[in-house]
């Protein structure tokens, strides 16, 4: 097995474990398991999903698309990948057993230190052009480094003010905001732009680039406001989400001349996956626009179903959607495998059904209607589809014959 196939399988394994943790949490709502701690599982689920699936598969694709072949073959990339996976396995074991404690902190800190090594390598080895996709990738890497400042503040926050303090909570939100909206989403858009063969309109790209950076910085005000009563933060967020809308209008305009040509070259499965990713992105921008209304901004984080729905929209819909699309388009997953097609259908159905249920239940709570009958049973069944889909996708990957991969 070549190292790239091993890397991709390893990322899917992490994703599967994260999904199984999520499934277990939904199972525990119906059938409590004495020896499992729900909040420990939640930490395990979120860390393995973010750092084991999203971070590592982005690592694989960045090395593949942005690092020139002679440099990407250097042993350092392979060693760094497996060291990072070692830190993920550490978290996979430590978090469910002890939650945030000595070993899980050691492994998550190791992951951050290794991510710095990765940033340094990409910065040094990334082909020296200044194409739109490269500029977007490099700014996403700066956001990744910026996000980790939030983590380094956690220790001082706990020792001075405690875990309940606004400082501690804001440090966590700082990390999450720049990881998701800065590093992950921008890196994925950079990888997506890399799939367009023709030249991208420079003037429109510059506007998108400038606006998306500004909006990413400004929308941090939204989660900060949960812990600090200050009207100015609301205005900053309103400005941020409006600028974000502008950014994505330019993003669309920039790709519009090439969209038909791009779409015609894709098979049905890849089209569906990209479609899902773009719809999810459109929804995310729309939902963030709703936070302009103060009463909706208020309930958005108080109703847990909305929070989980929004996080899944970003991770499963946008991030995983684009990643699956790129993997399929470049034959890293075989789009003509019937097992893969069934797996993708299961995964997408599981994603859409759980999202609809999460947001619907959130609306029920908002309108004071209480619980949807059979809610926990239904969401458990729909979540099984996600796990089943991943198992089938992994099966098709294991069976996949080696094909020449386009660079």
- Write the pLDDT tens digit of every residue in 66-123: 998 888 888 999 999 999 999 999 999 999 999 888 899 999 999 999 999 999 999 9
Q: What is the CA radius of gyration of the chain?
A: 21
Interatomic CA distance for residues 104 and 98, integer angstroms? 8
- Write the pLDDT tens digit of every residue in 190-202: 999 999 877 888 8
pTM over 0.75, yes/no: yes
What is the 3-class SS of 121-152, one letter each residue? HHHHHCCCCCCHHHHHHHHHHHHHHHHHHHHH
Question: Between the CA of residue 145 and those of 36, 149, 155, 210, 320, what are the distances in Å?
Answer: 33, 7, 18, 19, 22
Tally of CB atoms within 10 A around 142: 16
Token pair 């396995």 is found at: 89
In the structure encoding, which two tokens stand for residue 235, read together?
């205005």
For every one of its 407 residues, what pLDDT tens digit does the chain have, with 9 covering 90 and above? Answer: 578 899 999 999 999 999 999 999 999 989 988 889 999 999 999 999 999 999 999 999 999 999 988 888 889 999 999 999 999 999 999 999 998 888 999 999 999 999 999 999 999 988 677 889 999 999 999 999 999 999 999 888 888 887 778 888 999 999 999 999 999 999 999 999 999 877 888 899 999 999 999 999 999 999 998 888 888 999 999 999 999 999 999 999 999 888 888 898 899 999 999 999 999 999 999 999 998 988 888 888 889 999 999 999 999 999 999 999 999 999 999 888 899 999 999 999 999 999 999 999 999 998 888 889 999 999 999 999 999 999 999 999 998 775 544 44
Q: Any idea what the Cα angle at residue 292 is, between residues 253 and 243, rounded to 5°?
A: 30
Domain boundaries, the chain: 1-128, 131-248, 266-399
State what percent of residues in the chain have pLDDT above 90: 73
Interatomic CA distance for residues 241 and 288, integer angstroms? 6
Architecture field, domain 1-128: Up-down Bundle (1.20)
| Cβ partners under 8 Å of residue 62, min gap 6 | 122, 137, 187, 191
CB distance 84 to 123 below 8 Å = no
């Amino acid at each position: 097995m070549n190292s790239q196939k091993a890397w991709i399988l390893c990322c899917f394994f992490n994703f599967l474990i994260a999904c199984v943790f999520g499934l277990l949490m939904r199972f525990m709502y119906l059938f409590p398991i004495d020896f499992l701690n729900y909040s420990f599982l939640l930490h395990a689920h979120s860390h393995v999903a973010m750092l084991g699936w999203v971070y590592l598969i982005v690592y694989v694709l960045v090395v593949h698309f942005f690092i020139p072949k002679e440099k990407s073959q250097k042993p350092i990339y392979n060693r760094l990948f497996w060291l990072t996976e070692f830190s993920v396995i550490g978290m996979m074991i430590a978090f469910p057993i002890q939650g945030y404690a000595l070993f899980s902190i050691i492994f998550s800190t190791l992951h951050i230190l290794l991510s710095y090594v990765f940033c340094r390598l990409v910065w040094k080895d990334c082909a020296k052009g200044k194409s739109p996709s490269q500029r977007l990738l490099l700014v996403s890497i700066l956001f990744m480094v910026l996000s980790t400042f939030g983590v380094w503040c956690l220790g001082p926050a706990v020792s001075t003010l405690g875990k309940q303090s606004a400082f501690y909570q804001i440090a966590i939100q700082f990390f999450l905001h720049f990881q998701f909206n800065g590093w992950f989403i921008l890196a994925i858009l950079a990888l997506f732009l890399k799939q367009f063969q023709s030249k991208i309109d420079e003037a429109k790209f510059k506007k998108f680039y400038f606006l998306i950076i500004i909006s990413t910085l400004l929308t941090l005000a939204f989660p900060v406001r949960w812990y600090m009563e200050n009207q100015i933060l609301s205005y900053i967020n309103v400005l941020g989400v409006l600028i974000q809308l502008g950014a994505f209008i330019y993003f669309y305009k920039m790709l519009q001349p090439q969209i038909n040509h791009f779409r015609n070259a894709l098979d049905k499965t890849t089209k569906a996956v990209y479609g899902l990713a773009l719809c999810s992105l459109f929804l995310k921008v729309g939902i963030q626009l709703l936070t302009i209304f103060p009463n909706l901004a208020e309930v958005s984080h108080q109703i847990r179903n909305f929070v989980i729905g929004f996080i899944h929209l970003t991770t499963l819909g946008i991030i995983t959607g684009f990643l699956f699309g790129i993997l399929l388009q470049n034959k890293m997953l075989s789009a003509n495998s019937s097992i893969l097609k069934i797996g993708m259908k299961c995964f997408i159905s599981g994603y859409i059904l759980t999202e609809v249920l999460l947001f619907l239940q959130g609306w029920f709570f908002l309108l004071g209607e209480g619980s949807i009958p059979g809610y926990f049973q239904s969401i458990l069944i729909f979540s099984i589809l996600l796990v089943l889909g991943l198992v089938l996708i992994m099966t098709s990957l294991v069976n996949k014959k080696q094909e020449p991969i386009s660079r």
